[in-house]
Chain A
């Protein structure tokens, strides 16, 4: 009998995980995307208030491949995807690992709504390819993956599920608490759900809505109460992007966090970027949902504690 029991018992899950990843790859290859690889270790991550990078010999491990991939889009790579490791400091829980796998893809043209459709197509393709039906069971609850998936604005989600309004939650600095405690458990319960139009300050790299600059064209995909993917219409105005980064860094300073250097090369090339949209999807969580696994620990070979 195998000596490491907790590792041995994950064998079937890890075999299925490999298949899911292979099918994701196939989806992108068949729809004309180029698979790319960008460095894991970078001089500095994009400054965002609440995302902390792990230092690595004067540089940092990437928190996402976003900056490098956008530089590629700006240089004429119109449809690209990447499945890679990312690191975020001190994130650990039943849905979080400090080192995790992210699927990120970008395409020139199209806004965040067209990206939602592509997201639906990808996940439905992957479920079919690994032999799941349109109705999957996650945490003893049936989720219907047939189209269309529901789309509601963040404002509407507050109206439906929270005791407070989005505006008041922001004023009282309780937005995150309301999201986690009241709203998220209700999202994507019977069928997947897109939550869209976030407050502008919750999307440092997203384009603001032309008709309502208080709102960023950003969305999150939820399935079974789990936040699975985050996408947006990309902000391509270098001056505005620099100002948004400055504000994020100012927030970081007020929280006593490392202030990250301005990604100057990215900012210098941003004006070449066509209107684009991009999205990051948590591969570990997708595996959890597809295989009905309770914690993220059980979809990886080793957790940090097991090393």
Chain B
């Protein structure tokens, strides 16, 4: 489905705050449902003959990461989920608590491991990230697309072994395990694509 460009969108409710209506629903829209922020990940318009318009969606909870199916009727309204992004630095991890510092105010905040999702695999000390805040509550982080991480454990490459020539497992300093080319050795620094979680290249030091 292409985006619904050119269609009138949204309206103002009695308290004069901007609301989306069901016909504004589209992929990527962020809305509040049951007081939590959701992002629309799939969308389909249906209308049984002579019946009402139904908007079938898949929504991902931006706090828990869980996906739900919801069908909305015409006329339903939604509060937009406005998320604030703030530049912060990752300081350290304590149990399942991750500590960050605001680059401008030096204020420190804590995000738990569950809210970080896959981002926890790539957080190393002093990494600059964008922390997402929903109603002043930190709910996740946006990482740079590429992060350099050190390999702390991987099997040495047995020369001449062509049986599993393409890839071998490696453990990174964050505990994340991924597949790397056989020539990568323990102690080396590699670049990882945080969007896919895959090996990108070896870093020359």
Contact = CB atoms under 8 A, between A and B. Distances in A.
A256 B51 contact: no
Contact of B44 (A49, A93, A175, A303): A93
Interface string B96-131: 000000000000000000000000000000000000
Interface string A43-78: 000001111000000000000000000000000000
Interface residues of A, number: 33
Interface stretch (A106-114, A126-134, A178-186): A178-186
B23 interface: yes
Contacts of A49: 50, 52
Interface string A203-243: 11000000000000000100000010010000000000000
A256 B77 CA distance: 14
B158 interface: no
A297 interface: yes
Contacts of A90: 7, 23, 53
How large, as a class, is the contact surface on chain B? 20 to 34
Given A94-B1, A297-B2, A227 B48 contact: yes
A175 B52 CA distance: 10
A230 B23 contact: no
Residue among B4, B47, B56 having the largest count of chain A Cβ atoms under 10 Å: B47
Given A50-B53, A180-B56, A305 B4 contact: yes
A202 B51 contact: yes
Contacts of B6: 304-305, 307
Contact of B51 (A94, A176, A181, A307): A176
B54 interface: yes
A117 B47 CA distance: 25
A93 B74 CA distance: 14
B48 A179 contact: yes
Given A177-B71, A203-B50, A303 B45 contact: no
Q: Which 6 A-B pairs have the closest CB atoms?
A: A93-B45, A176-B51, A179-B48, A180-B46, A50-B52, A230-B49
Interface of B: 1-7, 23, 44-54, 56, 71, 74-75
6 contacts: A50-B47, A50-B53, A177-B71, A184-B48, A297-B1, A305-B6
